[in-house]
Chains A and B, each alone.
Chain A
Amino acid sequence: MESNSVPVAGPVIEIKGLHKTYVTTDGRVDALSDVNLTISQGDIYGIVGMSGAGKSTLIRCINRLDTPTSGDVLYQGRSVTAMNRAQLEATRRKVSMIFQQFNLFMQRSVAGNIRYPLEIARVPSDKADKRVRELLKIVDLEDKLNAYPSQLSGGQKQRVAIARALASEPEVLLCDEATSALDPMTTQSILALLQDINKRLGITIVLITHEMAVIRQICTRVAILDGGKVAEEGPVDEVFVHTQSEAGKRLFGILPEAPDEDPDMPSLRIVFDGASAEKPIMSNLIKESGIAINILSANIRHLGGRQYGQMLIEMPSGPHEKETVVAYLTSHGMTVKEVNTK
């Protein structure tokens, strides 16, 4: 454990050739097959996928709550799968985890919950008290010190869970569907808190989710998991704009789920790839050209003040109008593609 005291530059977590096979009564199920990922210091790394894609198994292999069938997980260059009990326990204190169902100790108060990691690390009582107060301040729940989990809302419970996970001063925080049980408003506040923790405390965050919105909002890198394999991986804005994989397109909602949902009339597909900042492009087009635009569908997302996604509009009535529209949009940095032309 001596190497622990010196922070190692570069990747914090490396996942190498990870396989996980479950043997069930119906035969073998490959939850993960040959997953390779590198998570660097300071990342907010999102792993996204439909349910059953293997993302939960993957994150649980990082702190060995699940044991991989083959392959390895390296934390600071050291193999987690090869660690003995004591080494694993020490590593788990540096790689904390929060859960979808919060998993708070129901018979301990809020303070008692946050104190737990300090108790098991034998931190002196007065020091622990001080630390509990600091942590409650970080998660903005100072008034709930003596409350019990059953008296808290979902968002408050997750805040306590986050404070508890931070108590051991971890380097990595694993989030297993941490916002999936929360309403949209609460999700926002928890995401903001995670982002704040990442920035202020420099904690690397690995989160899994089935919600693209979560990835878009706070992640720096993303891996798309599909059927136990990594379908696509890279910086979030790149993956979002140049989505390659079918799974990615499905998750981003770029392609209609089924091909027969394509428009049955000639139309134009306009791709917003972030080049256009928040200008009211479509309304300017209508104003400037005087051409009526019929929007069939739109799927535009805002990411770092830029627009990504696409819009489907009905083909303008005449060839001249079409040319004007295409020229205008192209000159504003958008890609326009004709769809269903006869």
Chain B
Amino acid sequence: MSTDQLVHLLWTGLLETLRMTIPSTLFAYLIGMPLGVLLVVTRQDHIMPAPRFNAVLGTVINFLRSIPFIILLVLLFPVTRVVMGSGIGTRSVIFPLIISAFPYVARMVEGSLNEVDHGILEAAQSMGSTSWQLIRKVLIPEAMPSLVNGAAICMVTILGYTAMASAAGGGGLGTIAIIKGLNMRQSDIMYSASILLVLLVQIMSLAGAYSTKRIDHRNR
């Protein structure tokens, strides 16, 4: 394979990887973020206590989180076909990625929101805030640096899942490394695709860490 062909192959793979990772992360947050908020605020000692609801939600999320992605991919196949119009391909794999990632996102968000000092919430309560104001204007803004950091971690995790998407014809750098590289014994392809994946992970992590530090007003 010529260098040009290799570059073209990797470029296509990179775009496919991003096309799976970015929308999956966004949608996983769209579902996972509200659930993460609910996991925190419905706790007994929090702003909207609903312990029974909290316990049920926690159990469901743990259950979903314990299913390995590759199994979920297979289990969801019929549903994916209905929802995405097709069971295989780069676009279709976004659906199982979202389903697999949102419980993880919910737990991640929960962790970040739990870091917010209870005294700060109490102060806001003592000023007559409604629950919605507490969530939107205090809880989430105060946890923002940690939420951004968590989002970077989630994105990297989803990126890792996309490598397994090759099982459903997902494409991307992972597929290139596994199918063209490993299975067809083209080590140059395997290594270059892997290195590109590693670089992508590094960039995401660094961007996450940098933004986290940048927006945090606690240490100046």
Which range holds the interface residue count of chain A? 20 to 34
CB pair A104–B128 under 8 Å, yes or no, is no
Q: Which residues of B contact A93 (CB under 8 A)?
A: 127-128
Q: Which residue of B lies closest to A103 (CB)?
A: B123
Q: Which residues of A contact B211 (CB under 8 A)?
A: none
Annotate A298-322 by CB proximity to B: 1 below 8 A, 0 otherwise: 0000000000000000000000000
CB pair A103–B219 under 8 Å, yes or no, is no
Which listed residue (A96, A104, A109, A149) contacts B127, Cβ 8 A? A96
Interface residues of A in 53-107 (CB under 8 A from B): 63, 65, 85, 88-93, 96-97, 99, 101, 103-107
Cα distance, A107 to B143, chains bound together (Å): 9
Q: Does A120 contact B (CB under 8 A)?
A: yes
Q: Which residues of B contact A108 (CB under 8 A)?
A: 141, 217
Tell me what chain B mostly uses at the interface: helix, strand, loop, or mixed: helix
CB B199 to nearest CB in A, in angstroms, measures 32
| Given known contacts A97-B123, A104-B120, A106-B218, A119 and B137 CB-to-CB distance under 8 angstroms | yes
Interface residues of B in 96-131 (CB under 8 A from A): 117, 119-120, 122-130
Q: Which residues of A contact B137 (CB under 8 A)?
A: 116, 119-120
CB A316 to nearest CB in B, in angstroms, measures 56
Q: Does B16 contact A (CB under 8 A)?
A: no
Q: Which residue of A lies closest to B117 (CB)?
A: A103
Which listed residue (A109, A120, A150, A168) contacts B218, Cβ 8 A? A150
| Given known contacts A99-B123, A150-B217, A105 and B128 CB-to-CB distance under 8 angstroms | no
CB pair B142–A103 under 8 Å, yes or no, is no
Interface residues of A in 271-308 (CB under 8 A from B): none
Cα distance, A104 to B142, chains bound together (Å): 10
Cα distance, A97 to B124, chains bound together (Å): 10
CB pair A150–B219 under 8 Å, yes or no, is yes
Q: Which residues of B contact A90 (CB under 8 A)?
A: 128
Q: Which residues of A contact B215 (CB under 8 A)?
A: 107
Q: Does B153 contact A (CB under 8 A)?
A: no
Which listed residue (B125, B130, B133, B141) contacts A65, Cβ 8 A? B125
CB pair B218–A65 under 8 Å, yes or no, is no
Count B-side interface residues using an 8 Å CB cutoff.
Answer: 25
Interface residues of A in 116-157 (CB under 8 A from B): 116-117, 119-121, 148-151
Cα distance, A324 to B127, chains bound together (Å): 62
CB B137 to nearest CB in A, in angstroms, measures 7
Which listed residue (A85, A91, A103, A151) contacts B122, Cβ 8 A? A103
CB pair A105–B138 under 8 Å, yes or no, is yes
Q: Which residues of A contact B216 (CB under 8 A)?
A: 107
CB pair B130–A103 under 8 Å, yes or no, is no
CB pair B127–A120 under 8 Å, yes or no, is yes
Cα distance, A89 to B220, chains bound together (Å): 34
Cα distance, A92 to B138, chains bound together (Å): 17
Q: Does B182 contact A (CB under 8 A)?
A: no
A-B contact pairs, 8 of them (CB 8 A): A92-B126, A93-B127, A96-B126, A96-B127, A97-B126, A117-B128, A150-B218, A168-B127
* A residues lining the B interface (CB < 8 Å): 63, 65, 85, 88-93, 96-97, 99, 101, 103-109, 116-117, 119-121, 148-151, 161, 164-165, 168, 174
Apart from the given pairs A107-B215, A120-B127, 17 other A-B contacts in the complex at a CB distance below 8 Å:
A65-B126, A88-B128, A92-B126, A93-B127, A96-B126, A96-B127, A97-B126, A101-B119, A103-B117, A103-B119, A103-B123, A106-B217, A107-B145, A107-B218, A116-B127, A120-B130, A165-B127
8 closest Cβ contacts across the A-B interface?
Answer: A92-B128, A103-B123, A97-B126, A93-B128, A89-B128, A148-B217, A103-B119, A117-B127
